Amino acid sequence: MSGDAAQRAHRRALALMVVAPVLWSIAGVVTRQLSPELQQHGRFEITLWRSFFAAVFVGGYLAFVRRDLVGSLARAGGAGLLSGLMWSAMFCCFMLALTLTTVANTLIVLAVAPLTTTLLAWAVLRAPVPARTWVAIAFATLGIGWMFAGGLRLEGGRHLAGMAVAFGVPLASAINVVTLKRRGESVDLIPAVFIGGALSALLMLPFALPFRAELRDVLLLALLGFFQLGLPCMLMVAAARHLSAAEVALLAMLEVLLGPLWAWLGADEVPSPSTLIGGAVVLAALVFNELARPAGTARRSA
């Protein structure tokens, strides 16, 4: 790929990897519109419906746009299955963690995702990590910690167990991103999102019964499954072909940054000063990592 073509591909991938976490970040504000009963007692059911509709969306794309659902799944092979298992782990572990500990505890654990992804990519792919990226990772992690440190709870084994479960998200994310980088150029891994959604829905089914969702809840969860989970995960798969593993993981942090903003605008949940300051630090770290990129280095990177 020529230098100009690589630059254009990198810019397109960057745009996709910004859109993806913007869509992921609407989960909180849409969830606030669900019935109080489902919000309070239906986390497993929420995960089930969201995962189910994500699988429907991706499966529909493969079946009716590509007209090759079965062939796409077969060609994804072992890499597709591994990636699908990691998507499923991420979908499930987040909600399981929230049943054991606080949102703040969960999100602080999620903040280590850029570090775990970068370290795994370095170990497996031998991907060089520029100094600017290490700086960005450090400040992004610090910013997330600043945003949610006020809600940190460590007393009791339940909270520690919840944080241990939450660590499954950055760990699965790291394995998934490395899989996308290692095999994503030779194997289409969009079918893995379908696999992840279907597995997650099946795993949540025993815990979700009896169903509490009303028709309005199901429609809102379909919206989440289609546009907050299925579509952005597909965008991430496409973007990962032209971004480094560290870039993918860092830009995914926009979800944590934007979530409180949508809750403020759409659900009147006013963020604390520490949330705003920490969010500004995260945003500055992400912008710095891209603007500090030396000219002519936008190429397919491991």
Angle between helices 113-125 and 168-183 (to 10 degrees): 40
pLDDT at 260: 85
pLDDT at 223: 96
More confident residue, 167 or 6: 167
pLDDT tens readout for residues 102-153:
888 888 888 899 999 999 999 999 988 999 999 999 999 999 989 888 877 7
Average pLDDT of the residues in 183-209: 95
- pTM value? 0.92
CA-CA distance, 39 to 91, in Å (whole number)? 17
C-beta separation of 101 from 153 below 8 A: yes
pLDDT at 237: 97
CA-CA distance, 269 to 115, in Å (whole number)? 30
CA atoms 103, 94, 22, 10: torsion sign: positive
CA-CA distance, 200 to 84, in Å (whole number)? 10
More confident residue, 256 or 57: 57
> 28-60 in b/e burial notation, b at 16+ Cβ within 10 A?
bbbbeebeeebeeebbbbbbbbbbbbbbbbbbe
Residue 30 belongs to what H/E stretch?
Answer: helix 27-31
Lowest mean pLDDT among 16-25, 183-192, 266-275, 290-299: 290-299
pLDDT at 142: 94
